[in-house]
Amino acid sequence: MRERWRSGLVLLLSAVLLAGIVLFAPGSENSAFRRLIGIGDDPLGTPADVPAGGVYAFLEHQRGNPDDPVAWDPCKEIHFEVNTDGAPDGAEDTVDFVREAVAVVAEVTGLRFVYDGTTDRRPKWDGAFVPLGGRREPVLISWATASEVDELKGNVAGLGGAAAREGVDGRLRFITGGVTLDSASFDDLEDERDGEEFQRAILLHELGHLVGLDHVDSPAELMFADNIGQRDFGRGDLNGLVRLGEGRCS
């Protein structure tokens, strides 16, 4: 009888310990398990701790609330594909270039990006910041010319943005998006001093649009409409990215 009592106590303590780990321990694996068993939703990552300051703006806001930006669901992975056609470098170098820039945005926002491989899909845009289509399909990162994508005409080095859909809770969330980089601009930068750093800056700028940042009036920020030397996210950009990583789970 005493052995049965001890065995039951051990099982009870083990169950309590397991429940505590599942409920309170950090980590994406535990978060995924909590969602699986219906205990609740937890973001897949945590936005970075960045110094306050700078200026930022959002592309879209929740209806009737200009202080509440439209963002991606932090509890869902953002899948993306790369079409390397038209890029100045080889396919492998191009994919590495893209993945490294995406990793920067992921680290700041806490959003989880998943690379699905290369694709032959071509970009189509409904406007400067909205790719054509509203289905839940992987984000497309690609290169194109102005003859294929009208929005690249003029002095436009790239496009970035996302399409939103209303959830059952009435909130808008981005569900797909795209980044299209101008092949001619990237070719020109190949021969320039520090050209690769400016290519990276263009990609980061468009990825900022992809997750929800709009242009700002401050040249100190990478989200300034015209790049006049900024090569990385400024303080305001970083704070805006953190805000966009704090969206609500659906």
Same domain, 148 and 213: yes
Give the residue carrying structure tokens 């306050």. Answer: 52
Q: How far apart are CA 147 and CA 152, in angstroms?
A: 8
Q: How far apart are CA 243 and CA 236, in angstroms?
A: 11
| Residue 128: per-residue pLDDT | 78
Q: What is the pTM of this model?
A: 0.83
Bridging pattern class, strands 158-166 and 172-182 = antiparallel
Give a yes or no: residue 171 inside a domain.
Answer: yes
Domain count, the chain: 2
| Residue 135: per-residue pLDDT | 79
Reduced to 3 states, what is the DSSP secondary structure of residue 80?
A: strand
Same domain, 6 and 119: no
Q: What is the CATH classification number for the domain harbouring 75?
A: 3.40.390.10
Same domain, 74 and 30: no
Domain span at residue 11 reads 2-36
Same domain, 70 and 20: no
Half-sphere exposure of 82 (CA within 13 A, CB side): 21
Query: What φ, ψ does residue 124 adopt, rounded to 5°?
Result: -140, 135
What are the average pLDDT values for consecutive 10-residue runs of the chain, which has 250 residues?
Answer: 50 49 47 48 94 97 93 98 94 96 98 98 88 85 96 94 94 97 95 92 98 97 91 97 96
| Residue 176: per-residue pLDDT | 96
Same domain, 99 and 16: no
Q: How far apart are CA 163 and CA 102, in angstroms?
A: 18
| Residue 35: per-residue pLDDT | 47
| Residue 229: per-residue pLDDT | 83
